[in-house]
């Protein structure tokens, strides 16, 4: 069977769903192919922290732009998305981390982000369950949290509801892309001048040669303990662990959900391809969390899971064209893909439609890190 559309999006995680909506808004006929359920990959495993970050100017530009797009969308998000502006507190344990609080304060204030320095006492008042004493913290007012799989579902549902040219093909995997076509496992070919590879950490399977590595992460969700935590809390030591490009690491990172539950994170591991739960890592996460919030050790955990972040060497996503003129990438978002999904979709649509972009696009172009020319395996598929 053969058919044709204007654009095929492979992968219905939060990034593919955002791309489908953005391109449908531009009047394109869009087919979305997802081998499993909508939002079932890293999107289901993620924490849903919509956070402005400052590792680099490019990371700041993408996260703050995307956060503003989430803020604009927020009034129409259904209750199931659980969007809430909790704010973030970056927790400083000692004077060295307090120096980082001051550096971040200067960075954010000069760029128009509302932040507030908390001393030890105001930190204890803001979050009574944190251990005492701690040195203080930085509150970032505009950060939010949401429930990622429902957010992805909403973006696609909106795309379909408002734009008749959107088609979802669920339960089918793409086995090859390239030269203006997508081949599905059942042999169906879809012809399209544009194919977006939004398959997260699986992206190199369809576009070999791109610099994506799997980075495993675990999360724990507890029973309901309303008001136990009020902000997304992240230790400043988190930055050291997130920056490490080799070692396994855990860091204190806790999120209050609208349901009253707590999400406890998080871990980072390279070279861990097995999706099973690693008990040692989970024990380390609980120990780390209890170091900051001793009462956490007495809460009841309901479930633990893991997922794979799609990591790039420079910690920025891959958004844009490849060697094959028909293939575009929207992947490599590591631990920030929920936050940056909307901006990714906007930048990609701007490229495809020749529009001006609100922020520079160059820092995210795949050409900066592609190790070898990306060749599609589609040409090798015998039944295609
Ligand atoms: C533990 C953890 C915590 C995180 N916390 C946060 C956070 O707080 N904030 C934040 O912004 N980000 C967070 N992230 C990162 C975020 O979850 C990811 O960056 C984001 O979900 C990536 O979305 P995606 O759509 O690119 O990929 P995915 O959600 O993985 O979607 C890819 C989709 O493609 C499908 N697919 C793959 N191959 C094929 C194929 N051949 N054919 C058809 N379909 C295919 C998959 O089934 C999947 O549904 C976290 C990640 C982890 C693991």
Across the beta sheet with 2-4, the strand order is: 2-4, 189-191, 181-184, 174-178
Q: What is the pLDDT of residues 68-104, one digit of tens each?
A: 999 999 999 999 999 999 999 999 999 999 999 999 9
pLDDT band at 383 (very low <50, low <70, confident <90, very high): very low
Reported as a single tens digit per residue, the pLDDT across 110-122 is 999 999 999 999 9
* pLDDT reported for residue 382: 25
How far, in Å, from the CA of 46 to the mean position of ligand 1?
Answer: 7
Contact 234, 278 (CB under 8 A): no
When pLDDT is cut at 50, 70 and 90, the band that residue 370 belongs to is: low
The C-alpha atoms of residue 113 and residue 95 are separated, in whole angstroms, by 23
Whether 217 is in the pocket of ligand 1, judged by its Cβ within 6 Å, is yes
The ligand 1 atom at the shortest distance from the C-alpha of residue 309 is 53
Residue partners of 364: CB distance under 8 A and separation at least 6: 58, 62, 316, 317, 318, 319, 320, 344, 347
Cis upstream peptide for 222 (omega within 30°): no
Tokens of 336: 């920030």
Nearest CA to ligand 1 atom 14: 335
Task: Work out whether the CA dihedral 233, 330, 42, 286 comes out positive or negative.
Answer: negative
CA distance 20 to 145: 22
Average pLDDT of the residues of the chain: 93
Mutate to test the pocket of ligand 1, among 11, 12, 248, 343 (most ligand atoms within 8 A of CB): 11
Per residue in 334-349, pLDDT (tens digit) is 999 999 999 999 999 9
- Structural element, H or E, at residue 347: helix 337-353
**Residue 309 Cα to ligand 1 middle (Å):** 7
Residue whose tokens read 């009047």: 27
- In ligand 1, which atom is closest to the CA atom of 340? 11
Q: What is the pLDDT of residues 297-316, one digit of tens each?
A: 999 999 999 999 999 999 99
Is the beta carbon of 173 within 6 A of some atom in ligand 1? yes
- Whether residue 231 contacts residue 87, with contact meaning beta carbons closer than 8 Å, is answered with yes
Beta carbon of 14 within 6 Å of any ligand 1 atom: yes
Atom 50 (ligand 1): residue with closest C-alpha? 46
* Contact by Cβ (8 Å): 210, 318: yes
Measured from the Cβ of residue 121, the count of other Cβ atoms closer than 10 Å reads 11
Pick from 17, 18, 20, 47 the residue to mutate for probing ligand 1's pocket: most ligand atoms within 8 Å of its CB: 47
* Pocket of ligand 1 contains residue 45 by CB under 6 Å: yes
**Cis omega before residue 198 (within 30°)?**
no
| Spatial distance between the Cα atoms of 307 and 290, rounded to a whole number of angstroms | 23
198 lines ligand 1 (CB under 6 A): yes
CB 307 within 8 A of CB 276: no
Distance 154 CA to ligand 1 centre (A): 16
Measured in Å, residue 283 CA sits from the centre of ligand 1 at 24
Residue 95 CA to residue 76 CA, distance in Å, equals 42
**CB of residue 174 inside a 6 A radius of ligand 1:** yes
Instruction: Indicate whether residue 137 lines ligand 1 (CB < 6 A).
Output: no
244 — pLDDT class (breaks 50, 70, 90)? low
Confidence of residue 374 (pLDDT cuts 50, 70, 90): very low
Model pLDDT, residue 245: 62
Q: Which atom of ligand 1 is nearest to the CA of 15?
A: 25
C-alpha Rg value of the chain to the nearest Å: 21
Q: Decide whether any atom of ligand 1 lies within 6 Å of the 16 Cβ.
A: yes
Q: 205 CA to middle of ligand 1, Å?
A: 15
Residue 383 to residue 185: CA distance in whole angstroms:
10
Q: Which of 131, 53, 141 is nearest to 92 (CA)?
A: 131
CA 344 to ligand 1 center in whole angstroms: 13
Residue 13 DSSP one-character state = S
Distance CA 230, CA 146 (A): 14
Whether the per-residue pLDDT at 5 is higher than 80: the answer is yes
**Separation of CA 270 from chain center:** 17
pLDDT of residue 240: 62
Residue 248 binned pLDDT confidence (cut-offs 50, 70, 90): confident
Short-list 350, 366, 31, 330, CA closest to 192 = 31
Q: What are phi and psi of 202, to 5 degrees?
A: -90, 0
Q: What is the mean pLDDT of residues 219-225?
A: 98
Angle at 15 (CA atoms; ends 231, 190), nearest 5 degrees: 165
Q: pLDDT grade, residue 198 (50/70/90)? A: very high
Q: How far is the CA of 39 from the centre of ligand 1 (A)?
A: 7
pTM: 0.95
pLDDT digits (tens, 9 = 90+) for 255-268: 999 999 999 998 99
Q: Please, which pLDDT band fits residue 369 given cuts at 50, 70 and 90?
A: confident
Burial 76-104 (b: 16+ CB within 10 A, else e): ebeeebbbbebbbbbbbbeeebbeebeeb
42 lines ligand 1 (CB under 6 A): yes
**Cα 198 to middle of ligand 1, angstroms:** 9
Least confident of 39-53, 63-77, 364-378: 364-378
């Amino acid at each position: 069977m053969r058919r044709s559309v204007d654009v095929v999006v492979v992968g219905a995680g939060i990034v593919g769903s955002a791309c489908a909506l953005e391109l449908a808004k531009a009047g394109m006929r869009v087919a979305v192919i997802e081998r499993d359920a909508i939002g079932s990959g890293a999107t289901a495993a993620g924490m849903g922290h919509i956070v402005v970050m400052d590792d680099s100017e490019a990371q700041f530009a993408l996260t703050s732009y995307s956060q503003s797009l989430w803020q604009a969308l927020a009034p129409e998000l259904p209750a199931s998305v659980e969007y809430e502006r909790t704010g973030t507190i970056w927790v400083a344990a000692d004077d060295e981390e307090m120096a980082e609080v001051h550096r971040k304060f200067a960075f954010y204030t000069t760029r128009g982000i509302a932040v507030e320095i908390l001393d030890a006492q105001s930190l204890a008042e803001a979050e009574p369950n944190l251990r005492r004493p701690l040195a203080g913290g930085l509150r970032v007012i505009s950060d939010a949290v949401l429930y990622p799989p429902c957010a992805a579902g909403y973006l696609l549902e909106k795309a379909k509801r408002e734009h008749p040219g959107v088609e979802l093909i669920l339960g089918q995997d793409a086995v090859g892309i390239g030269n203006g076509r997508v081949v599905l496992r059942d042999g169906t070919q879809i012809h399209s001048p544009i194919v977006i590879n939004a398959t997260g950490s699986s992206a190199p399977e369809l576009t070999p040669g791109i610099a994506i590595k799997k980075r495993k992460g675990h999360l724990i969700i507890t029973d309901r303990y309303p008001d136990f935590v009020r902000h997304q809390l992240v230790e400043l030591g988190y930055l050291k662990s997130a920056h490490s490009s080799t070692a396994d690491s855990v860091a204190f990172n806790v999120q209050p959900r609208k349901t009253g539950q707590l999400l406890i994170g998080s871990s980072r591991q390279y070279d861990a391809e097995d999706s099973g739960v690693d008990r040692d890592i989970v024990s380390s996460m609980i120990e780390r969390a209890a170091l900051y919030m001793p009462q956490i050790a007495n809460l009841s955990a309901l479930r633990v899971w893991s997922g794979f972040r799609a990591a790039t060497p420079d910690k920025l996503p891959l958004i844009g064209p490849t060697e094959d003129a028909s293939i575009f990438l929207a992947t490599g978002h590591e631990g920030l893909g929920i936050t940056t999904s909307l901006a990714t979709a906007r930048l990609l649509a701007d490229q495809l439609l020749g529009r001006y972009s609100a922020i520079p696009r160059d820092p995210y172009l795949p050409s900066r890190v592609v190790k070898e020319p990306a060749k599609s395996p589609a040409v090798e598929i015998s039944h295609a």
